[in-house]
């Protein structure tokens, strides 16, 4: 056991490599808060979270003013106790995205530290259920792209061995979504999974109409058809739809997933490790879903989720959207259309610290140490591992 002696927080901004547009928003940029924790034995762990372009400074402020100072002197191995204490320290702002994302950056750093100390990769430390998982792509399925581009990308990914592709839907008319799906299906044939994502764009009546069309198009799941806080509407849709309903990227607590599962409102849960508050609650949701015989197919964050989906037995797919290429030297290990988790101790993400330092958003870099010392820097000065 070793106490936490030093905490560093910072944020970088990562413009997406491709334009990302869905039915309700554009992915402006990826604000990426990063937390680096060092214990009294010199062991280190790094965690992170993300936004799609807004709210990042609020996450950094919560980390700086409330959460990071509470870590100094804590036993680094007491991850469950730390997560619970920090949650209760922020109970007036939970459940919500800002709090969950801040908690996630800390929690993933602590898991990284734990695994590094143990000399084990995260996927083994957290369960070691499966050595690889099939991939599906979303990166070529954005709503602004013409149908022929969707079809071309899906066909290319099929040729690379991917199991499926996800397309954004939510065009003004049902017929437009139907035509786009038909063109992609014609390009990839029947032996390729197609999923769709509405990004909460519909009301119940429209979701029911689209669900009927999606069943005819032989779609594997209908993702986020309606606002995520309306569990009752999703339960009604699930009873109506012949297409499985997938939800979870816009939920921020275990209790929300419990409500969905108990009411039969979700056939697939898509718990996002950052938005749920870290690895600690992610694993709880995954095992809760397993108890309901429901699959977990997490949203985004493939560099981290690859280890988590391989840790549990009920994760059949991993979503392919490259996220961290600009600030890491590691890449997802893809063989025969499957993702293989890193075998290096920890999260298995090799951070490019010189690249990170060059991208720090001004005013977001803070350090905490023993005695409550606190320093803010425009640029880092620590020696890098």
Contacts of 170 (CB under 8 A, 6+ apart): 22, 23, 24, 143, 177, 198, 199, 201, 202
- Which residues, listed in sequence order, are joined to residue 4 by a DSSP beta bridge? 39
Among the listed residues 69, 101, 74, 103, the one whose alpha carbon sits nearest the alpha carbon of residue 86: 103
Rg, Å, the chain Cα set: 21
Q: Between β-strands 366-369 and 374-376, what pairing exists: parallel, antiparallel or unpaired?
A: antiparallel
Q: Is 377 a catalytic residue?
A: no
Active-site residue, selected from the candidate residues 158, 299, 305, 366: 299
Q: Is 299 a catalytic residue?
A: yes
Q: Which residue has the tokens 């002696």?
A: 5
Strands (E), 262-307: 268-269, 295-296
Please report, to the nearest 10 degrees, the dihedral formed by the alpha carbons of residues 68, 74, 80, 84 taken in order: -50
Burial group, residue 328, by CB count within 10 angstroms (0-12, 13-18, 19+): middle
Active-site residue, selected from the candidate residues 6, 168, 234, 366: 168
Residue 194 is encoded by which pair of tokens?
Answer: 């197609």
Report the catalytic residues.
168, 299
């Amino acid at each position: 056991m070793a106490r936490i002696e030093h905490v560093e927080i910072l944020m970088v901004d990562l413009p997406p490599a491709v334009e990302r547009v869905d039915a309700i928003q554009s992915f402006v940029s990826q604000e990426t808060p990063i937390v680096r924790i060092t214990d009294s034995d010199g062991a280190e762990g790094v965690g992170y979270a993300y936004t799609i372009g807004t709210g990042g400074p609020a996450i950094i402020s919560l980390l700086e003013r409330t959460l990071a100072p509470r870590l100094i002197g804590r036993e680094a191995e007491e991850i469950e106790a730390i997560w619970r204490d920090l949650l209760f320290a922020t109970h007036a702002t939970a459940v919500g995205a800002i709090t969950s994302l801040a908690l996630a950056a800390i929690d993933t750093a602590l898991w990284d530290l734990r695994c590094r100390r143990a000399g084990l990769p995260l996927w083994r430390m957290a369960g070691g259920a499966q050595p690889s998982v099939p991939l599906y792509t979303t990166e070529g399925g954005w709503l602004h792209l013409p149908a022929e581009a969707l079809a071309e990308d899906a066909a290319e990914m099929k040729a690379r061995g991917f199991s499926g592709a996800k397309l954004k839907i939510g065009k003004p008319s049902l017929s437009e979504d139907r035509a786009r799906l038909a063109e992609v299906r014609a390009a990839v044939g029947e032996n390729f999974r197609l999923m769709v994502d509405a990004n909460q764009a519909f009301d119940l009546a429209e979701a029911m109409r689209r669900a009927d069309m999606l069943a005819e198009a032989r779609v594997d799941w209908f993702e986020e058809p309606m606002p995520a806080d309306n569990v009752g509407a999703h339960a009604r849709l699930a009873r109506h739809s012949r297409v499985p309903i997938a939800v979870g990227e816009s939920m921020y607590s275990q209790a929300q997933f419990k409500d969905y599962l108990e009411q039969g409102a979700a056939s697939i849960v898509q718990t996002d490790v950052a938005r749920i508050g870290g690895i600690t609650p992610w694993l709880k949701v995954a095992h809760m879903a397993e108890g309901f015989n429901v699959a977990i197919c997490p949203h985004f964050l493939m560099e981290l989720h690859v280890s988590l989906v391989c840790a549990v037995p009920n994760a059949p797919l991993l979503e392919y959207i490259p996220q961290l290429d600009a600030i890491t030297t590691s890449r997802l290990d893809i063989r025969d259309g499957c993702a293989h988790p890193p075998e290096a101790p920890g999260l298995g993400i090799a951070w490019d610290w010189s690249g990170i330092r060059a991208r720090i958003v001004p005013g977001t870099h803070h350090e905490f140490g023993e005695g409550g010392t606190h320093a803010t820097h425009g640029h880092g000065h620590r020696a890098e591992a």
